[in-house]
Amino acid sequence: MTWETVIGLETHVELATRTKIFCSCTTEFGGAPNTHCCPVCTGMPGTLPVLNKKVLEFAVKAGVALNGEITRHCKFDRKNYFYPDLPKAYQISQLYLPIVRNGRVPIRTESGIEKVIRIHELHMEEDAGKLVHDPWLDQTRCDYNRCGVPLIEIVTEPDFCSAEEVIAYLEKLKSTLQYLGVSDCKMQEGSLRCDVNLSVRPAGSTELGTRTEMKNLSSFKAIARAIAYESKRQIELIEEGKRVIQETRRWDENKDATFAMRSKENAQDYRYFPEPDIPPLEIDQEYLDSIRRQQPEMAEDKMTRYQRDYGLPVYDIQMLTGQKALADFFERCVSLGADPKQTANWIMGQVLGQLSAKTLEAKDMKLTPPTLVKLILMVKEGRLNRNTAVKVFEAVFDEDGDVEEYVKTHSLEQVNDPGALAAAVEKVFAANPQSIADFRAGKEKALGFLVGQVMREMKGKADPQAVNQSVRENLKK
């Protein structure tokens, strides 16, 4: 029998507000344990939460960008449960009237599948603290710094049937939220994490099978592998005549497998009730209109504009607009006078190469547009050849070093001296009569060797085109 996998996603995104959702503590990542908290976010008796306006603004912005309906009369609810990292023993969340419903996210996978993922809802809530397990001391400690960091949870319908689709959606979501500036979406710091709901059913069936939920996956790699593992596990169970149990499972990165954590709880287990400490929100048309007016240019709009204004190939445009920081970098270079196609080539080749080698994100790199533009212009003016420029680029990348100074101290400037070139060619020709004979006997390869030798003689500082031309001319003599 052939099986199909059905996946729904719940994505938690930490919002990039300066302060927490219900108090004025900082949301900054890290910090010594329990230094970013106060009586409100640790739920001390007698304290009252006050909603951070920015959280609402960011949630509405995200909702508009995901083509959702904004709930004009919206409320918070209390979700009761005890966990050591949640000192209040309840989480303020939204169940009955989430801020956004019925969104739509068009995606395109790497192999070209296009579909629309339906968003069931997007709601606001507070994050819990963190438990730090210390296996050496055999202790678990509570760090409440993350308590009250604002989150939006985005819940899709079960519209995915492969890891590839899930990843295309997450890439799209990440890019959208970064363009909006509502989250940095740093998966390694837990700013974006996913719960994957997965079930299998016979291909063509319209009924859903029993699903399991895998919690807190925080890298694309873990998500893809967890999906592959869990589909296979469920199919094998069913084929052996056993049943899939509805439960929450934990993905163990090291063992490459999922393990049962607890049987799946239902909403009623949490005894949700309307949060009595926060009044309902009434969102008026004027507020919504002002948010819509402030929406920035998103990736799709940029793609159209790049094609129209710069005539760049589609591939280049996709690469450049994939990350907002990269698109901003590109635009700034062009505004400083660099040729768009040259800039795109440098970004796709050298910049992305360095970022990937150093596992950095574009928004965290120190290299600035003026530095890259300087290099591009030096190549254009014939002061550096392309190969040397790449070496200079690699040298200045980490600290955004001074290009002029580096070129000067390492005397890398291109030598445009016809006399020196002629002398180098003469020397190389005198030393390599065999190569000259080979070339004249029809061995094209000998040309490359001679050009290389002259370039070496010039210490790599000659203009490659001039060297090539000079060697060819001398071979004709």
Instruction: Give the residues lining the site for Zn ion (CB under 5 A).
Output: 23, 25, 38, 40-41
CB of 47 or CB of 80, closer to Zn ion: 47
CB of 23 or CB of 466, closer to Zn ion: 23
| Minimum distance, C-beta of residue 37 to Zn ion, in the bound complex (Å) | 5
CB of 38 or CB of 161, closer to Zn ion: 38
Measure the CA dihedral 96/100/103/105, to 10°.
-120
CB of 42 or CB of 212, closer to Zn ion: 42
CB of 15 or CB of 344, closer to Zn ion: 15
CB of 22 or CB of 169, closer to Zn ion: 22
| Minimum distance, C-beta of residue 40 to Zn ion, in the bound complex (Å) | 5
How does strand 3-14 pair with strand 192-202? antiparallel
| Minimum distance, C-beta of residue 368 to Zn ion, in the bound complex (Å) | 36
| Minimum distance, C-beta of residue 142 to Zn ion, in the bound complex (Å) | 15
Contacts 24+ apart (CB under 8 A), 428-435: 428/453, 428/454, 428/457, 429/474
CB of 37 or CB of 74, closer to Zn ion: 37
CB of 38 or CB of 348, closer to Zn ion: 38
| Minimum distance, C-beta of residue 68 to Zn ion, in the bound complex (Å) | 29
Neighbours of 15 (CB within 10 A): 26
| Minimum distance, C-beta of residue 278 to Zn ion, in the bound complex (Å) | 15
| Minimum distance, C-beta of residue 77 to Zn ion, in the bound complex (Å) | 21
Alpha-carbon distance of 179 to 181, in angstroms, equals 5
CB of 25 or CB of 373, closer to Zn ion: 25
| Minimum distance, C-beta of residue 90 to Zn ion, in the bound complex (Å) | 16
| Minimum distance, C-beta of residue 17 to Zn ion, in the bound complex (Å) | 13
Q: 362 with 323: CB under 8 angstroms?
A: yes
Q: 243 with 210: CB under 8 angstroms?
A: yes
